[in-house]
Amino acid sequence: MDTIFILEKSLIILTVFAITMLIALYSTFGERVFAAYFQDRLGPNRAGPLGLLQPLADGVKMFTKEDFIPDTPNKFLFIFGPFLFMTTALITSSVIPWGDKLEIMGRTVYLQAADINVAVLFVLGIVSIGVYGIMVGGWASNNKYSLLGAVRASSQMISYEIAMGLSIISVLMVSETLSLRGIVEKQHGFIDWSGKFPWFSWYVFKQPLAFLIFLVCAFAETNRTPFDLPECESELVGGYHTEYSSMKLGFYLFAEYINMFISSAIISLLFFGGFNYPGMDWVKQQLGTNAATLIGVGAMFAKTLFGIFFYMWVRWTVPRFRYDQLMNLGWKVLIPLAILNIVITGAVIILSGN
Amino acid sequence: MTDFKAISLSGRKKDVSDKSMTFMEKLYLPAIAKGMGITLRHFFKPKATIQYPEQKREFSPVFRGRHILMRDENGAERCTACGLCALSCPAEAITMTSAERKPGEEHLYREEKYAATYEINMLRCIFCGLCEEACPKEAIFLTQDMAPADYRREGFIYGKEKLLMKPEEVKKQADA
C-alpha cells in the first residue's frame, strides 16, 4: 500500500514538474508572440512550424554563452542565487490542487502532490523566501546596479506581501479553511444555491475587492510590469541580474515565468474556483467521476493560462510605475483597502448570522 | 484675429493642465481598462509585417534597382560599348572594355562592336538611372530587384555574368 502511495505521489510530482517546465518554456515564446501581436507584428515564427522550436533555440543559445563570474568575494552566493530563486519558484506547485479526484482500480487519487491544511500559509511563506534569491544574487554580483535592483526588489516584495496577506484573510474568513483544496471545494460549481438568495460561488464575485488587491500584489510579487522596477532597464541596466550570463541568467528569467504560472494558478484557485466549472454536477452524473475530473483539470489549466495571458496583456498596456508611486500604492492604498475589506467581510458575516 | 490656441490639425489637441485628479481618475482602474481595450483591439488587427523572403513589398513602377544588360529578341547582346553610360554616370561606377565582333559571332552580339567586359560597382552606384537614359541602344535598364547583400566588397563589383539578361528571360521578353 505504501509503495503504491509513494509511486502515485512521485508520478504526480514528476508530471507537475514537467508541465510547469513546459508551460514556463512556452510562456517565454508566448510572451514574444503576444508582445508582437499587441504591437501589430507577427513575432518569432521561423524556428520550426509556427516558430514552435524557438524556446529550444533560445535554450541552446543560453547554454552556449560564456558563463561569466565577476570578480566577487562571494562566488558561492553568486552561484547559489539563481538556484535559490528557481527552487522557491518550483516548490509552491507542490500544494496546488490541479484537479479533483480520479478513481483508478478502486483507489481514489487526488491530483495534488500534498494536501496540507496550511497550504495558504505555506504559499505565502515560500513566496517571501523568493526574495532571497534576488537579494543574494544582487548582493553577490558586487555591482552597484545589481545591488540597487536587489534592494528595490526586496523592499517592493516585502511591502506588497503585507497587502497580499491581508487581502487573503478576507477570503479565508469566507472559506473558513486554509487548505487550498478546501477553498476550491467551497467554490463548488458556478452558482451557490445554499444562501438566502443565489449568487455566484466563485470568490471573485464574493470578494471582488480582495481579488483586485491580490491581483495587483501578484504583479508586484512576480516583478512584472507595471511593477518591474527591480530590472528596470532604463535606470539599472539589468537590475539584479546585470552580472549574470549563460544559464544562470536563464534560471532567473525562467524562474520569473514559473512564478507567473504559479501565481496565476493561485489566483485561479483562490478566486476563480480552480477546477470548478459551470454544470460540473450534471457532467459527473452523465459521464462519471473521472471524466468530470479531467474536464476540471482542463478548466483549471484554461484559467491558469488565461492568467498568464493577462500578465502579458497588462505588460504591453500599462507603463512602469515610479518608485514613490509604487510605495504609495502599496502602503497608503492597498493595505488600508485590505483592512477595510476585512472589516466589511466580518460585518457581513455577523449580520447575515452564520 | 485668429485664436491660434484653438487650432488643432489632428483634432486631438489637449491643453496641458495641472489640476488635481478627480476620485475616478485616482482609481486608475477605468483608465487601465480602457487602455487594455485598446491593446486588445490591436491584438486582433491585421499585422503590418511583410514576411520578407516569401512576401515582397510591391515597388513603384518607376523603382530603380539592380541593372540589367539587355539582349534582343534573338538573344544577342544589345550593348555596343559606346561608353555613354560610363560618361553619364555621376558616381563613376561603370567601366568597360570594347572588342570587335568576329565573323560567326553575329548571334552573340547585335552590332560590330561589343563590350568584352562591363563592370558596375554597386557600392558606388547611386541608382540615379542616368545610364538608362544615356544609352542609345536600349541596352541597360534598372530593374525592380535589389542588389543582394554580400560578405566581401569584391562581391559588389558586378561583371557581365551578373548583369546580363538570362537566356530564359529573353523568351519572356519576346512574349511580353
Domain boundaries, chain A: 70-351
Largest CA-CA distance found in chain A, in angstroms, rounded: 67
Residue A59: CA count within 13 A, CB half-sphere: 13
Structure ipTM over 0.90, yes or no: no
- Measured CA to CA, the distance from residue A130 to residue A136 in angstroms comes to 10
CA B122, CA A348: separation in Å to the nearest integer?
80
pLDDT band per the 50, 70, 90 thresholds, residue B104: confident
Does residue A304 or residue B174 have the better pLDDT? A304
**pLDDT surpasses 60 at A82:** yes
For chain A, list residues whose CB is within 8 angstroms of any CB belonging to chain B. 34, 37-42, 45, 212, 313-314, 316-318
What is the C-alpha separation between A211 and A174, in angstroms, rounded?
13
pLDDT over 90 at A103, yes or no? no
A49: confidence class by pLDDT, cuts 50, 70, 90: confident
Please determine, for residue A16, whether its predicted confidence score (pLDDT) is greater than 70.
yes
Q: What is the pLDDT of residue A353?
A: 67
B55–chain A nearest CA distance, Å: 14
Residue of B nearest to A316 (CA): B39
Per-residue pLDDT at A340: 92
d(CA A297, CA A225): 29
Nearest CA in chain A to B53: A46
Backbone conformation region of residue A237, classed left if phi is above 0, alpha if psi is from -120 to 50, else beta: left
Half-sphere exposure of A62 (CA within 13 A, CB side): 16
Is the CB of B159 inside 8 Å of chain A's CB atoms? no
What mean pLDDT do residues A164-188 have? 87
Q: What percent of chain B has pLDDT over 70?
A: 96
Per the structure block, which three cell numbers stand in for A319?
Answer: 507603463
Answer whether B42 sits within 8 Å of A39, measured CB to CB.
yes
Quick one: average pLDDT of A54-73? Answer: 86
| pLDDT at res. B1 | 61
Over pLDDT 90: what percentage of chain A?
A: 12
Query: Residue B107 — very low, low, confident or very high, per pLDDT cuts 50/70/90?
Result: confident
Return the C-alpha cell found at B32.
Answer: 487601465
CB atoms near residue B155 (< 10 Å): 14
Task: Check residue A184 and give its pLDDT.
Answer: 86
Mean pLDDT of chain A: 86
Residues A296-314 have pLDDT tens digits of 889 899 999 999 999 999 9
CA B87 to chain centre: 23
Best residue in A31, A34, A38 to probe B by mutation, most B CBs within 10 Å? A38
CA dist A255 → A69, A118, A128, A134 (Å)? 20, 24, 15, 11
B47 CB within 8 Å of a chain A CB: yes
Q: How many other CB atoms are there within 10 angstroms of residue B102's CB atom?
A: 10
Cα gap A259→A133, rounded to integer Å = 13
The yes-or-no verdict on residue A354 having pLDDT over 60 is no
Calculate mean pLDDT across residues A317-338: 87
In chain A, which residues have their Cβ closer than 8 Å to the Cβ of B54? Answer: none
- Strand B157-158 with B113-121, pairing: antiparallel
Q: Look at A38 and B29 and tell me if their CB atoms are within 8 Å.
A: no
Q: Please, what are the domains in chain B?
A: 67-175 (3.30.70.3270)
DSSP annotation of B35 reads H
pLDDT tens digits, one per residue of A143-171: 888 888 888 888 888 888 889 999 999 88
Residues whose CB is less than 8 angstroms from the CB of residue B54 and which lie 6 or more positions away in sequence, other chains included: none
